[in-house]
Amino acid sequence: MRKGETYLGAILVLLVLVSVFAVLLTRYVRVRASPIVDEAFWLTDDQKVTAAHVRSKVETHVIIRATGEYVGSVVVKIRKDIALWLDNDYAVVTVPVSLSGDEKTEITLDFIPDETSVGRLRGYFIEVGFPVTKAKWVMENSYPPRLTVMNSGT
């Protein structure tokens, strides 16, 4: 047997072993259920709102409910809704969670809007990511429930 044939044979055996390992791994990996967002809302001065003043404190509340077992992190983002352009992150928090059954948890994130909803900026919205399952929830694309921001005198 020549040197080239031995090398080719070794690569073929290695590919077969990797393929067998990949098949076995996928058969025994559990599919994890993603939690769901039960509710997401904005608070200012302890009142639910869909509009706030620029440079005022806004509390974001997201209630997550398990649909099975979920151990990992949840990423909550406040994003700027920019018309005819890519939206961008304004505030982000990553929280470790461990949920099972029908268990719930609430995640809060405070932020201060720095722009009013005029021109290209339509407002702010909430996005929730579940990195373990690669799932994502995005607030409905309408006002409300998205947050409109006004000038302080408006």
Q: Which residues of the chain have pLDDT under 70?
A: 1-5, 7, 9-10, 12, 16-32, 153-154
Range of the domain at 7: 1-30
Shared domain for 49 and 24, answered yes or no, is no
Here the CATH number for the domain that contains residue 82 is 2.60.40.10
Q: What percent of the chain clears pLDDT 90, i.e. is strictly above it?
A: 74
**Taking the model in full, what pTM does it have?**
0.78
Torsion angle of alpha carbons 9, 11, 14, 18, nearest 10°? -130
Q: What is the pLDDT of residues 58-95, one digit of tens each?
A: 999 999 999 999 999 999 999 999 999 999 999 999 99
Shared domain for 125 and 98, answered yes or no, is yes
Residues contacting residue 92 through CB under 8 Å, at least 6 positions apart: 75, 76, 77, 78
Shared domain for 111 and 144, answered yes or no, is yes
Q: What is the pLDDT of residue 3?
A: 57
Domain tally for the chain? Answer: 2
Shared domain for 65 and 124, answered yes or no, is yes
Mean pLDDT for the chain overall: 88
Q: DSSP for 2-41?
A: -HHHHHHHHHHHHHHHHHHHHHHHHHHPPPPPPPEEEEEE
Shared domain for 53 and 25, answered yes or no, is no
Q: What percent of the chain clears pLDDT 70, i.e. is strictly above it?
A: 80
Shared domain for 79 and 7, answered yes or no, is no
